[in-house]
Structure 1
Amino acid sequence: MAESRTTEDRGTGSQRRGRRIMMTPEEIDAFLAGRRTCRVATVSPDGRPHVGALWFVWDGTSLWLYSIVRSRRAADLRRDPRIAVLVDAGEEYGELRGVELAGTAVPVGESPRTGEPCAELRAPEQLFARKNFGLDAMPHDGRHTWLRLTPDTIVSWDFRKLTDAH
């Protein structure tokens, strides 16, 4: 797997090893735009990690997560906002690719989300509704909350690049 880098050096190739398999910023954007499900890791009160699957949307800068307010994930993040998210694909070794994003989850808008006007949520809700529901407008059920992860670090890998080099 390629090493960690900050979002500031996303495109500079600052990874010491794994340069051959790391994704370019454009590849990261396309990969995240094309995937639906991520795995979200939070820290439980006893210090153990908790990992669960969740739908997301990427806007090119931030990962937007739509989580159930009464979930263990949401409770963990209210107590400790540190988060790591993995989006990956591939079955065979030479097909494996993915992006890991880490940082702090920030709640956005009212919680639970009922659809009150929120300028910051306009774009992510439209992206999410189209990507996951095939709708132009976000349906609200009063049970979810929005979390924004603007990553401090992004790690990427695409093992398909190894087979392309031979």
Structure 2
Amino acid sequence: MTVTQRRGRKIMMSPGELDAFLTLQRTCRVATVSTDGAPHVSALWFLWDGTALWLYSVVRSKRWADLKRDPRVAIVIDTGEEYDALRGVELSGVVEFVGESPRTGELCAELDAVETRFARKNFGLDAMPHDGRHAWVRLKPSKIVSWDFRKLGGS
């Protein structure tokens, strides 16, 4: 994990805070590059494993088509309603496709722990329900920027 943050160090999350935040949050916004060069942003559940962000995406989606053509991505996870409660992380880099596409549950050691954790976190299940419509994308971020406005001490 590369944290390359120059500005806003006062509100930057520590590595422990960053890991805890990404582990607890559920929904991210994924920005991909469309065929015309315009950004396309969509919401998606994710899993953080401590070094990589895992996305389980529908393979017949604009997001998937964009990533297959151009694997560059920017992802934002944030929370908070009031200004002094805003927290978030932006991760960017190039995604990798892991496992078969679409995912049908074939043995893939790299996905064992990811699928178990994802199923528990998002579905309350002990095993991943494969529907033949989704597949896995992994982002090992090349850049991470974080903010936690609670550190400003305004409240």
- TM-score normalised by length of structure 1: 0.90
Aligned equivalent of 2:73: 83
Shift of 1:17: 2.5
SS state of the match for residue 39, structure 1? strand
Deviation at 1:16, TM superposition (A): 2.8
Distance in 1, Cα, partners of 2:37 & 2:130: 32
Deviation at 1:20, TM superposition (A): 1.0
- SS, match of residue 116 in structure 1: coil
2:25 counterpart letter in structure 1: R
Match of 2:148 in 1: 158
Is residue 59 of structure 1 aligned with residue 44 of structure 2? no
Secondary structure (helix, strand or coil) at the match of 1:140 reads coil
Matched, 1:140 2:130: yes
> Aligned equivalents of 1:16 and 1:155: distance in 2?
9
The one-letter amino acid of 2:90's match is E
Over the matched positions of the two proteins, sequence identity in percent amounts to: 71
Is 1:102 aligned to 2:92, yes or no? yes
The aligned length equals 155
- Please, what is the CA RMSD of the aligned residues? 1.2
Residue 127 (structure 1) aligned to one of 110, 117, 125: 117
Distance 2:107 2:29 in 1: 29
Deviation, structure 1 residue 134: 0.8
Segments of structure 2 that go 5 or more residues without pairing to the other structure are none
Does the alignment pair 1:25 with 2:34? no
Q: 2:27 matched to which residue of 1?
A: 37
Q: Does the CA contact (< 8 Å) of 2:5 and 2:144 recur in 1? A: no
Q: Moved runs in structure 1, 4+ residues, more than 4 A?
A: none
Distance of 1:107 and 1:151 partners within structure 2? 14
Question: CA deviation digits over 1:108-139, x for unaligned, max 9?
Answer: 00000000000000111011001001111111
Q: Counterpart of 1:40 in structure 2: which amino acid?
A: V
Give unpaired runs (5+ residues) of structure 1: 1-6
- 1:4: which partner in 2? none
| Alignment correspondent of 2:59 | 69
Residue-by-residue CA offset, 1:41-99 (whole Å, 9 max, x unaligned): 00000000000000000000000000000000000000000001100000010000000
| Secondary structure at 2:67 match in 1 | helix
Classify the secondary structure of the residue corresponding to 2:153: helix
